[in-house]
Amino acid sequence: MSLDQELDRIFAAPASKPTGGNGEQDGRVRNGNDSKPKPAPIPPWRRFPTVTLPEPLRSFVSSAAVATQCDESFVALPLLAGLASAVGNSRTIQLRRTWHEPCILWTCIVGESGTVKSPAIELALRPIRKRQRKARRRYAEAVKNYNSDITRWKADKRRQNQEPEPEQPVAERCVAGDITPECLAMLLEQNPRGLLVARDELAGWLAFDRYSKARGECAFWLEIFGGRALTTDRKTVASADVPRATASLCGGIQPGTLARALGQEHLEDGLAARLLLAMPPRRTKRWAEGDVPESIETAVEAVFDGLYDLSPNHDADGEPYPKALPLTPDGQAAWIRFYNEHAEEQARFVGAMAAALSKLEGYAARIALVIHLVRWAAGDATLGSPDAVDAASIEAAVTLIRWFGHEAGRLYATFSETAEEAESRGLVEWIQGRGGAVTPRDLVRGPSRFRGDYEAAEAALTDLVEAGAGEWIEPETTTSGGRPSRRFQLCDAATCDETPRGDPVSEGFVAVAGVATPENTPDTLGDDGQDEGPPILDPVTGEIIPRDRLNVPPIDNLPLDLRPYAEPGDTGSIGHRTHLARIRRTAAAKIEPKTP
């Protein structure tokens, strides 16, 4: 089922809404003479397509999710925003001569308190925090030297006549937190490459105009998203003039807070459409011995360093401007296919969902640029040219964009859901985690609200049938005796995730690969109906590693030339451990790719 087919059930025009038994068109399904409206089905949660990320991001996201016991999207989204900020104003992607997209991503992970949002953000941004600490130490030393130089210069009149006044050092900034528009403009003027705004709680960022009575802060941020020229003039602060204001954004927020903060105003002004959102189902944490291998973390840090080392072009006056990367011929063909298909989907919607799909069009190019440059920084052997974005990067970005579009529709639908609809959505997500089909007896042994109450379990599943979320599958009669139980089957459970599976290789990059489907997703839900943890994807094969294979001795069965690079903490399939060993061998060889 395509994105527009799934979301059309929620955002359909009034004329297409189902008519209930009383003839009213309210968008909900009614059951015969029962006037109680049944909740409309909300698109189910899809696992984040981590397998589409290039290495070492793929291994980092998978292992970090296990280490922090969070969903992979909670690591991937801030990581992507951080990588975009590292590129900053050094590069843009050129779709045509007059259409350039800047490297700016705004990501937001959504979850209740206690869903490990902050640890996931900190782990993803660790390379940036480390770089910021080093910059602060350099700045402190520069200030010390400046104070000494300016003191001697002021004390020596002859020196003042012969030498210019020593220049005051400027602090290098790559990340900011709680910041006002005026302060951000000043930092961007001092750091023309751009920076990342990272907030554990984005609720503070969404509280616009809290320091000013002039209602213009939201408009300020909308300009930042486009990477446009920015000029600020205030009585209390110095004016700032930024030719290309570039700031990526990441943070976390609770679902109810997000719904209240966005409201109708920011759904209409386009702010909500500019946020790449993820709200995975809540899961029960379980202690896991796995951790992020040091080699993987080092490889990710090296990627960040490579991106920060990218230099922009300079004009005749010495002013920096981004180097534009065009598309390769196959990249252009892939972009045109996406553009036309996406335009058809967007035309089916109005309002908030249409705005989200509109921004996702540009986001596809921005994410493709990030993926392309990560592949370059990681030394991807399949990358043809560092100076042009190929089809592999475009197609991987399109896979991610499809996921973000689905998730936007799912989240927007929850903004107006009732408590009953929220319970219904939670039940659908629980069933999906069980493979898309359950019996009432399964439900009795599942979520606590159905424990010991068979009638309530059967009634809840019947409500889902009446709401159009699934159907009853009657069992075949047998001669063995006993009464077989009928099963509830989610609609389109077999095609919930229809992204085709790719054919990842041990070295290089996957163009487009699939995500977990109900058929190949292991049961990770506990007896309380909550997810016990994310599946671990093998970066080599793209398949989910069965949990009984996560503690295989790391040396056995590895190729002889790779055994010196294995570590005792390596877990997973042979393919996964082989891939980790190859990464270490490449790092040991100190292969440095040529700067594009």
Tokens read off for 231: 């000029």
- Same domain for 380 and 401, yes or no, is yes
- Same domain for 239 and 146, yes or no, is no
Question: Of 413, 440, 459, at which residue does a domain stop?
Answer: 413
Cβ-count burial of 98 within 10 angstroms (0-12 exposed, 13-18 middle, 19+ buried)?
exposed
Domain membership flag for residue 428:
no
- Same domain for 241 and 111, yes or no, is yes
Tokens read off for 431: 């069933």
- Same domain for 156 and 91, yes or no, is no
Domain membership flag for residue 204:
yes
Cα-based distances in Å from 88 to 57, 196, 308:
19, 9, 8
State how many domains the chain has. Answer: 3
CA distance 135 to 128: 10
Cis check for the bond before 43: say yes or no (omega within 30 of 0). Answer: no
Q: Is 389 helix (H, G, I), strand (E, B) or coil?
A: strand
CA distance 138 to 157: 30
- Same domain for 237 and 375, yes or no, is yes
Domain membership flag for residue 9:
yes
| Residue 154 structural domain | 137-162
- Same domain for 233 and 120, yes or no, is yes
Question: Of 413, 446, 465, at which residue does a domain stop?
Answer: 413
Question: Of 413, 443, 476, at which residue does a domain stop?
Answer: 413
- Same domain for 363 and 396, yes or no, is yes
Domain membership flag for residue 463:
no
Domain membership flag for residue 104:
yes
Select from 60, 496, 124, 422 the least CA-distant residue to 256: 422
Query: How does pLDDT run along the chain (596 residues), one tens digit per residue?
Result: 455 454 454 444 333 333 333 333 333 333 444 444 444 556 778 899 999 999 999 999 999 999 998 999 999 999 999 999 999 999 999 999 999 999 999 999 999 888 889 999 999 999 999 999 999 999 999 999 999 989 988 888 888 888 888 888 888 899 998 888 888 888 998 899 999 999 989 988 888 765 555 567 888 898 899 988 888 776 556 677 888 999 999 999 998 899 888 888 888 888 999 999 999 987 777 787 778 999 999 999 999 999 999 999 999 988 899 999 999 999 999 999 999 999 999 998 888 889 999 999 999 999 999 999 999 999 999 998 999 999 999 999 999 999 999 999 989 888 877 777 778 877 887 887 677 888 988 888 888 888 888 888 888 898 888 887 888 988 766 555 555 678 898 875 433 333 333 333 323 333 333 333 333 333 444 444 444 444 444 444 444 444 444 444 445 556 666 666 777 666 655 556 666 676 666 666 544 444 44
- Same domain for 342 and 290, yes or no, is yes
Domain membership flag for residue 582:
no
CA distance 394 to 398: 6
Domain membership flag for residue 8:
yes
